[in-house]
Structure 1
Amino acid sequence: MKRLKKRGLALLLATVVICCTSLSASPVSAEVSPSPAPAVASQETLRLGERIYREGILPSGKPLRVSIKGDSAVPGMTFACVSCHLRSGLGAFEEGVYTPPTNGAKLFKPRPVLHRGLELSAQPPLRPAYTDESLIEVLRTGSDPKGRVLSEVMPRYLLDDQDARVLVAYLRSLSAQFSPGVSDTAIRFATVISEDIPPEKSTAMLAAFDAYFDSRNTQVRAVADPRSKGSYRRMAEKMFGSKELATRTTSLSRWILKGPPETWRSQLEAYNGKEPVFALLGGMVSGQWQPVHQFCEENGIPCLFPNTDVPVISDTDWYTLYASKGYYQEGEGAARYLNNTADLPGEHPVVQVVRDSPEAAALAAGFQQTWQGLGHKAPVTVSLPRGKVLDGDFLQRLLASHTTAVLVIWDDAAAIPALEWLARHDGRPAMVFLSARYLGESVWSLKKSVRDFTYLTYPYSFFPTAGMGKPQLQGDAQKTLRQADIPLKNEVEMITSQTNAVTKLLTSLLIELKGNYYRDNLLDVTGTMMEEQHPVYGQISFAAGHRYASRGCYIVQLSPGDTPELVKKSGWEIQ
């Protein structure tokens, strides 16, 4: 199980597999009658149960404790249910190992015998429906409803009555009903756009979405048309992955945000209250994505690949899946490249000049946090106020105050004249770093005199993208890129390509849901997907809990010729 191997949970895997197999696979001769439906749990009870399930923390704040063979009582955080049964409670099947569901829709019903996905109702169920009491019993003692004692490698959870019932109450609610935005015949999505986005950009994104949803719904209607030939319906069902999915239409609402960002939250709540959706797709707003990110986090709504260069950087948030860390990722790449450069000149501190803008702030944060995390002293950071020109006088005062071999300039194209001043300055730093994304197309205006000491962070895949054709891997042999071949050439084309990447991902995810339309399950199955190809970032990868699909950056320079090209100076600096 690749995901668990990465976590180093070999013991957990062995434990849970034996536990789950024992709980669910043995035939029984009679079904145990379920207990009367319990009263609806309070929100506080569900919150506490969720914490046990996801974090292994009891309502008291103490860690869940378990008893396993050879140890009478050990901390149980490693054995939190989410580790194998996932956030949705639907379990997983990886590398031949099956972890069954523990969600409310499955756990408290008899589990039928399945053959090729079909229920064999004539046979006794694999197990009876759990009751609160029988589930608590098996968690504590390892004894199932028929009195069988499960393997000793299964942990026995040391839960008192109150904590046990809190956990069971949460399990009853977990993925018990399909998430909002899903009906018997349709799945509703939305995309978020702020009204000040240039029309050519929003039009490019919406046109790509409309083409996808129109095509898909045309096929769904054709499957439902009684005049369609059986062979066509079977072919369409195979393409959709299941007959069930082939009968559901999909729609995309447009949530247009107006006014300043501090008013967006109430607008998002109003849209969602009027027309709940299963997930948000793509989207673009002016400035930072943070207001939308926070809305999704607090409402439990997945958001797939928003078009933003300033995403929220978090190790714990769950609901937004970004294509990359944006500008922050470039700052990380510059820090790692400097750290890995054996002949880094001098012992003086790195100096970074930071423009007063969200883009520059993200670049600086990525650089500083990574640089210090690698064991270096914090860089000297000099702010560049909005409207202030970065010119020779500014740099002269800066270099007179700070001796440095490395100058990092997080500014847009306005910084280019300052580079030309540095080229004429005898005491200039040996290396100067800037962001190719932040410079935009102006990167090609760098004069020959500055190219030998100017290094650029480049977060895109190193492959020809004219027409946004099939990408190559980041590790390919190609060393240079022409101006005509890079994503910086055409921003509208990039938006179209990234939107197509969202719809490609959505197609795969809908199939992998297997009819289990729960929001957490959408993100659970994302974490089990194989590597994919992205038209802008190249090879992207997913893993359980990862929220940034692209996690690398190149360091490049411009070639000295009259027709400059980007030249690799590093490999793909993985974050």
Structure 2
Amino acid sequence: MRSDRILRSLIGSANRHRVFAFLFTSLISSAALAQSPGDPALGERLYRTGLGADGRPVTAITQGDVRIAGNQLTCVSCHRPSGMGTSEGGTYVPPITANHLFAAREANRALRNERFKEMYKEVQTERFYQDVRKARLRPAYTPETLVRALREGLDPAGRALNPAMPRYELSDADAANIVAYLATLSKGDDPGVEPDTVHFATIVSDGIDAARADAFVKTIDAYAEWFNRDVRDDLARPGFSPYYRDEFIDSYREWRVHVWRLAGPPEGWREQLERYYAEQPVFAVLSGLVAGDFTPVADFCDAKHVPCLFPVTELPRTAHAEGGYTLYFSRGLELEADALAAWLSAQKASPAHVTVIHSADAYGRRPATRLAAALAARRPGLAIEAHEVSDAAAMRTAIADAAGRDDDTLVIWPGHLAAAATGALAESPPAAWRVLLPSTALDAARALPATVRDKVLVTYPYDKPERIRPDAYRARAWVRSRRLPIVKWDDQREAYFALRMTDWAMAHLLSDYHRDYLIEIIEHEVENSLDPGPQPQMALGPGQRFGSKGAFIMRLDPDAPSGLVAVSDWIVP
């Protein structure tokens, strides 16, 4: 009776039944949540897509009165796949991993590390810095208080969350599912991480010149040795703290790089990678030098959720690449095909008939197929005549046949037959007034006689060779100071970029060794790198996987310092 009188005095009899109904409903919901363990797989779907257990989007209210569907503003869009959060429109988005949610937020090193990373990533708004500086100390979430936060926007201490955080109208099943998933999200270190070591791999396939592969691997090994020496020096002197490094000493790990060598055709690579991984899981794959279609490697990395960071390949997996675990420099030969189609279509004297000769391997077939599709989309009705050749003799015959015709444009994707193609062009100068080759044939094309060279253009998905980047000289000095062989500089420069980018991103992980988080940091910061390798600019957004998006069309000019002169602007098809 005393509690009844208190209720009457506080809220009046008219609201009493409403309060009891609310309390009863809350108790029922809590009981239902306690009885249902939830399905983490359905919770992950809700987190990533906004779809409830019934397959329909959940609904929510944001900013106090804006009704949205769950698939319009998903959890993953702000809190990211790792659950580590980000900044969105000047708003601080906190981490919601299992370790963060289900532990009390106290004024300790973990909270300091979390906020330290956000304070010094980039210039932010004053509102952001004010938000980050708020301690928000609270008890640990329980399943019940977490559901209340999702539905009502209140933390365990009863404080309101940011109004930008949607208040979701969740069924009990959806509530149980999302709680079950969040209890697993980025919980503990990912595979490949040990108390004092992080394991990495680099991948080298058959079909790569031995000296080239050796120089590539030595570059990666030298960087790991250099990194580890600094780690050991800091660990040996924990009291010596320039830049406060010993404040983060618990996050220090040495790198151990394993070289995974792939033998035989690409069809057998997946099995070999599985064996390597079973022997020693790795946290990430550093670069890689692969001859042939990269698809089996990308499929493996997606299946294991292993980041594969900037491999050297002209044949990346372009299908279903977005949101995957492989980050590429560019789309390789497919990008060159798209850029060529855009350039040809934009010419005042655009082609009336295009002859395409391509090798039967993936280096010829894939860009030829891509070019035909891109030209058909841009120039419906354009006559395209394609010839596939399987060996050097067939390549020479096809070029000799094309040389006698009066087609205006000849495109050759020679694949492994570049020497045969350029030799045939020298023997049978074509009547076509422009002959186009990919960047993979550039070395062979430089030897062409002047009678043919003046007609030849090359697609070039790199920066202009004459552009000077000071950090590129530092990269070369770093390689030379370690007496490393330089066989193909672009390979080593791209590997060096991948290593520096990984080094920088790993430093920002601190003790949060989550693979998704590593990718998210690289997505966020890759465009700020001092040296983007041979590319003019690298940029990635959430889920994007191709850093460089364009190409030049170059002509051969032996009088130019690099032997190349651009005849186009940077083409982003």
Work out whether 1:337 is the aligned partner of 2:365.
Answer: no
Cα distance in 1 for residues equivalent to 2:274 and 2:297: 10
Instruction: Provide the rounded CA distance (Å) in 2 between the counterparts of 1:103 and 1:168.
Output: 11
Answer yes or no: is the 8 Å Cα contact 1:558–1:564 preserved in 2.
no
Counterpart CA distance in 2 for 1:63 and 1:378 is 45
* Closer, same or farther: CA 101–373 of 1 in aligned 2, 3 Å: farther
Partner in structure 1 of residue 112 of structure 2: 117
Give the unaligned 5+ runs of structure 1.
Answer: 1-33, 473-489
1:92-150 CA-to-partner distances (Å, cap 9, x unmatched) read 24775311011111012222246992799xx9962222222222222223344455566
With over 3 angstroms needed to count, the CA separation of the structure-2 counterparts of 1:127 and 1:375, relative to structure 1, is: farther
**Aligned twin of 2:270:** 265
Q: Distance in 2 between matches of 1:201 and 1:156?
A: 56
Per-residue CA deviations over 1:296-355 (Å, capped at 9, x if unaligned) read: 0011000111122211113434101112222222112212222333x0335x35442222
- Residue number in structure 1 paired with 2:570: 572
Aligned CA RMSD, in angstroms, stands at 3.6
Equivalents in 1 of 2:507, 2:571: separation in Å?
Answer: 33
Match for residue 546 of structure 2 among 532, 545, 548: 548
Count of matched residue positions in the alignment of Structure 1 and Structure 2? 506
Query: What is the CA deviation profile of residues 201-260 of structure 1, one whole-angstrom value per residue up to 9, with x for unaligned ones?
Result: 2211221122111122222222232xx494xx423864x994334x32111112223344
CA separation of 1:134 and 1:381: change in aligned 2, threshold 3 A? farther
Question: Per-residue CA shift, 1:181-219, capped at 9, x if unaligned?
Answer: 112221111112235533212211221122111122222
Deviations 1:261-304 (A, max 9, x none): 33322221222122111111122233222111110001100011
Distance, in Å, in 2 between the alignment partners of 1:453 and 1:79 is 53
**Residues 440 and 463 of structure 1: CA distance in aligned 2, closer, same or farther (over 3 Å):** closer
1:234 aligns with: 241
Aligned-pair identity (%): 30
CA distance in 2, matches of 1:101, 1:456: 47
Q: TM-score, normalised by structure 1?
A: 0.78
Q: Using the TM superposition, give the Cα deviation of residue 176 of structure 1 relative to its aligned residue in structure 2, in angstroms.
A: 1.0
1:144 and 1:224 map into 2 onto residues whose CA distance is 39
Q: Which residue of 1 aligns with 2:25?
A: none
Q: Which has the larger displacement, 366-375 or 493-502? A: 366-375
* TM superposition score normalised by structure 2: 0.78
Cα distance in structure 2, aligned partners of 1:493 and 1:158: 56
1: distance between equivalents of 2:496 and 2:464? 19
Using the alignment, how far apart are the partners of 1:396 and 1:87 within structure 2? 54
Report the equivalent of 1:286: 291
- The equivalent position to 2:150 in structure 1, one of 136, 139, 143, is 139
- Listed as ranges, the gaps of 5+ residues in structure 2 are 1-29, 116-133, 474-485
CA–CA separation in structure 2 for the residues paired with 1:378 and 1:268 = 44
1:467-506 aligned at under 5 Å gives the runs: 470-471=471-472, 491-506=487-502
Instruction: Output the amino acid matched with 1:298.
Output: A
Correspondence for 1:456? 458
Task: Flag the 1:183–1:352 CA change in 2: closer, same or farther, 3 A.
Answer: same
User: What is the DSSP-based 3-state SS (H/G/I as helix, E as strand, rest coil) of the residue aligned with 1:187?
Assistant: strand
Alignment of 1:153-552 (within 5 A): 154-195=165-206, 197-225=208-236, 228=237, 230=239, 233-235=240-242, 238=245, 242-245=248-251, 247-314=252-319, 315-341=321-347, 343-345=348-350, 348=352, 350-374=354-378, 376=380, 380-387=384-391, 388-391=393-396, 396=401, 405-411=408-414, 412-419=418-425, 423=429, 425=431, 428=432, 430-435=433-438, 437-464=439-466, 470-471=471-472, 491-529=487-525, 530-532=527-529, 533-552=531-550
Max Rg structure? 2
**Structure with the larger helix share:** 2
* Mean Cα deviation higher: 372-381 or 124-133: 372-381
CA offsets 1:67-89 (integer angstroms, 9 cap, x no match): 45797854321211111111100
Distance 1:138 1:366 in 2: 49
Q: Are 1:352 and 1:382, in contact at CA under 8 Å, matched by a contact in 2?
A: yes
Change (3 A) 1:570 1:244: farther
